[in-house]
Amino acid sequence: MSTQINPKDYVMSFEQPITTQHVFGYMSGLHQQVGSFDYGQRVRVDTLNQAGQSFELSDDDYQALLQAYRQIDIPADQWLFIEVEVDEHCTVLGWQLVVLPYSLDYAIYLMQCAYQRQQVIELLQFIQQLDSKALQSFMWSLFSQPQLALRFLANPASKNHHHAYPGGLLEHSLECMKMVKAAMEQVKHFSKREKDLTQVAALLHDIGKTQTLNPKGELTMEGFNVNHEHYTLSLMADELKQLKKTYEQAAIALEYMLTWKLTDGYPKFIGANLIKAADRVSTGVQMREEAFAALPDYYHFTQVQTANRSVHLSRLN
């Protein structure tokens, strides 16, 4: 998949320690070399510009990676990718596997879009573990749009309210998704598919901000005139239309949870309440952290000015 968008126009490069680097590509080999000068355990990674780079693994990493490789499910239309962190001697310090339906150049594009590489991998790994293949396809299709992907991964979550910094939208969305997951795991009356769908809704609840803000935190023309909630469903209209053909119940439930408001009364899908609660908690905690960041520990009260009002905040130490 090719794209004309250069994420580097919007995203500052993520500085790594001088002695380490991150390499992302196809995992093309895992082998032991015995009886030669170049002995030991190694993983081979095919990158975009160089095929067959080989990196040394510790015994523990080799066994862990071998076990993970044997257990992972790779659909016929997808590919196994690996990100390795290596030192100046090409020794692997850490690794992560992810299975994607994207080409290597587009997968690297997604990695370059975000300010925190780990958060992109968390997003992609979440999609991969979804129980429903129809819901999985819905998410893969949604993030196969380069412009939408760029803004979802690089945008702030607001202009001057909460998570108002590059990458804040992805950070806030993942926080909400994780809080919803943790809450639903405490209650036994949710099926795996309802848990998955509610987490998807939590992840996408602010997707309209990809239309109303740009990666630099500036309001777009749409943002000057229309609230981001009005774009939530229209941005994924084609994907929802396809989801209705393959998993109609999920498409309708997703539309409901993404548009339900507290003023609508008790929600038909209980997860909608969890999404609103997670949204408020994620927003409030980040606002409070920023408000108290420059204050000494004995300060228990402060206030922060948002776009609409002054908010008083308290904490216990």
**One-letter identity of residue 109:** Y
In the numeric block, which tokens belong to residue 282? 């994620």
135: Cα separation from own chain's centroid = 16
* Complete DSSP assignment for the chain: ---S--GGGTS------TTEEEEEEEEEEEEEE-SSSS-EEEEEEE-SS-S-EEEEE-HHHHHHHHHHHHH----TT-EEEEEEEEETT-BEEEEEEEEESS-HHHHHHHHHH-S-HHHHHHHHHHHHT-S-HHHHHHHHHHTT-HHHHHHHHHS-S-SSSSS-STTHHHHHHHHHHHHHHHHHHT-TTS-HHHHHHHHHHHHHTTTTHHHHB-TTS-B-HHHHHS-GGGGTTGGGHHHHHHHHHH-HHHHHHHHHHHH--GGG-S-SSTHHHHHHHHHHHHHHHHHHHHHHTTS-TT--EEEEE-SS-EEEEE---
Q: What is the mean pLDDT of the chain?
A: 87
Contact 172, 157 (CB under 8 A): yes
Contact 306, 160 (CB under 8 A): yes
Overall average pLDDT of the 246-266 stretch: 95
Residue 14: band (very low, low, confident or very high) from pLDDT cuts 50, 70, 90: very low
Overall average pLDDT of the 240-256 stretch: 97
More confident site: 39 or 20? 20
Angle at 22 between CA 99 and CA 200, to 5 degrees: 40
Tell me the domains of the chain and their CATH numbers: 1-113 (2.40.50), 117-317 (1.10.3210)
Contact 55, 87 (CB under 8 A): no
The confidence score (pLDDT) of residue 50 equals 76
Q: How many CB atoms lie within 10 A of CB 267?
A: 17
**One-letter identity of residue 246:** T
Residue 35: band (very low, low, confident or very high) from pLDDT cuts 50, 70, 90: low
What is the pTM for the complete model shown?
Answer: 0.86
Overall average pLDDT of the 26-35 stretch: 79
Helix axes of 133-142 and 192-204: crossing angle, nearest 10 degrees: 10
How many Å apart are CA 133 and CA 136, to the nearest integer?
Answer: 5
Say whether pLDDT at 15 is over 70.
Answer: no
Write the pLDDT tens digit of every residue in 194-236. 999 999 999 999 999 888 888 787 887 886 787 877 888 999 9
Write the pLDDT tens digit of every residue in 83-103. 999 988 888 899 999 999 999
